[in-house]
Amino acid sequence: MLPVREGEMPMIQEEITDNLKSVFQKVFDENDITITRGMTAQDIENWDSLHHIQLISEVERAFGIKFKLREVLSMKNVGDLIDLIHIKKA
């Protein structure tokens, strides 16, 4: 785990999930969207390759992080995304 800068608290997974829900709502233009750790692109009707790129870009912007291509390709579900954000924000 990476050290946390003085005065900063690491983001907890619940906080990440709440922030991520807002990103999903924006990208997919659905205010009542619910995300779960097991969710995949198949669970959202209009989650296509373009929306996937938009989602990754918005997540990077919202959380102030950057993903490597291999990290993006290794994600199998939303839980993997949450875990990766948690690691990068720790």
Whole-prediction pTM: 0.85
CB contact set of 3 (below 8 Å; sequence gap of 6+): none
Residue 2 — very low, low, confident or very high, per pLDDT cuts 50/70/90?
A: very low
Which pLDDT value is given to residue 60?
Answer: 98
C-alpha neighbours within 13 Å on the C-beta side of residue 27: 27
The dihedral sign for the CA sequence 49, 53, 59, 65: positive
pLDDT digits (tens, 9 = 90+) for 18-68: 999 999 999 999 999 999 999 999 999 999 999 999 999 999 999 999 999
Instruction: Please tell me the distance from the alpha carbon of residue 24 to that of residue 30, in angstroms, as a whole number.
Output: 8
- Per-residue pLDDT at 5 exceeds 80: no
CB contact set of 58 (below 8 Å; sequence gap of 6+): 23, 26, 27
Query: Which sequence spans correspond to the domains of the chain?
Result: 13-89
CATH of 13-89, one of 3.60.9.10, 3.40.50.300, 1.10.1200.10, 3.30.70.260: 1.10.1200.10
pLDDT digits (tens, 9 = 90+) for 34-48: 999 999 999 999 999
